[in-house]
Amino acid sequence: MPNADQIEVIAPNLKRRLSGVTATVVRLIPIQALQIGIVTTGPGLPPDLPHIPLTACLTLPRRRWRVWHARRNTEMALGLILRHIFRRRLRMMFTSAAQRHHKGFTRWLIRQMELVVATSDKAKGYLQVPATVVMHGVDCETFQPAADKSALRRTLNLPEDALLIGCFGRVRAQKGVDLLVDTACALLPARPKAIVIFTGLITDDNRGFHADQLAKLRAAGIEDRVRFLGEIPWDQVVRHYQALDLFTAPARWEGFGLTPLEAMAAGVPVVATRVGAFETLITPETGTLIAPDDGPALTEAIRDWIDSPTRLAAGATAARAHVLAHHRIEDEAATLVALYRDLLARP
């Protein structure tokens, strides 16, 4: 366990299953740890992150103040318990990605925070307290274009000459998986090289939804060209990004939504809905934005990209350049560390 006196920031993660919030903690902590004494606590995190047991939070020495950076209601509540019942010296900070009106208990928790961060201007608009916008970034060393896309596809058992369209995230209606399946049924029969791949967990409550999509694909005669790969290791997710020609994010709603940034960093243009932070991430050069739940618009946008190899090539170059210029994870980490230091410096 890290030396207690060197711990300046605690970033809790109180959810065992992988989620966008957990992914954020996993991405940021190694970079922030080079700049400030930060640790995680909670389940479901890789063993190589600086970590303390939850029980250790109850007995941290009171010689110094520390920042408690919560990203969920449960984490805000636990931080308040540690501060007010167990008398730990914690500065309370919360990051919100939600783009919806908060319930009463959540609003009360947020009002107890000393600093509130929103991941986008839209998310800030739903908060009823002052907030600082810090947008997510992406690791451009991990996510970068493949040196040899054909060779990569061979290792992934994908056709080298395929026109590869991807959609990554849990398989459920919220992610618009059914909309992309409908688009595949409309476009793929006339485009024999086009293939769609989905990666992401299929939970028990979405087995029926998944079965419905497979039935549509069988009826269209393209079930062998739309692949559901399931939940795959993170390094394999990165490699599948690199193998794509076009990424799609047809979600019906989203908190922030990192997948378009990850795809663009890998040199892949994006078709996405106007939800989450997508409008602030995607430009006309790097992708196309459509209204949520608009299947015909999704089909038209994807057709316009995949029928133009020149546009795909230009979009790939522009996407990578845009992320490098505006959405590096190092910038996100540095901004948050500056906020931590500001909190710690308060009287």
| Residue 142, domain member (yes or no) | no
Q: Give the confidence band of 256 by pLDDT, cuts at 50, 70, 90.
A: confident
| Residue 88, domain member (yes or no) | yes
- Using alpha carbons, select from 14, 107, 9 the residue that is nearest to residue 65: 9
Whether 34 and 68 map to the same domain: the answer is yes
- The residue segments making up the domain with residue 153 are 149-326
Whether 127 and 206 map to the same domain: the answer is no
Q: Give the confidence band of 258 by pLDDT, cuts at 50, 70, 90.
A: confident
Strand partners, 96: 118
Whether 278 and 167 map to the same domain: the answer is yes
pLDDT higher than 90, residue 121: no
CA distances from 57 to 11, 48, 118 (A): 11, 19, 26
Whether 98 and 156 map to the same domain: the answer is no
| Residue 144, domain member (yes or no) | no
d(CA 164, CA 108): 46
In this structure, what are the phi and psi dihedrals at residue 118, rounded to the nearest 5 degrees? -115, 145
In this structure, what are the phi and psi dihedrals at residue 66, rounded to the nearest 5 degrees? -135, 155
Tens digits of residue pLDDT in 132-162: 999 999 999 999 999 999 999 999 999 999 9
> Six-digit token pair at 186?
């409309």
Residue matched to tokens 């992610």: 175
Count CB-CB contacts under 10 A for residue 242.
Answer: 22
pLDDT, residue 18, reads 64
Residues 41/56, Cβ–Cβ less than 8 Å: yes
Whether 132 and 153 map to the same domain: the answer is no
* Average of per-residue pLDDT values in the chain: 94
CA distances from 172 to 33, 167, 297 (A): 35, 12, 20
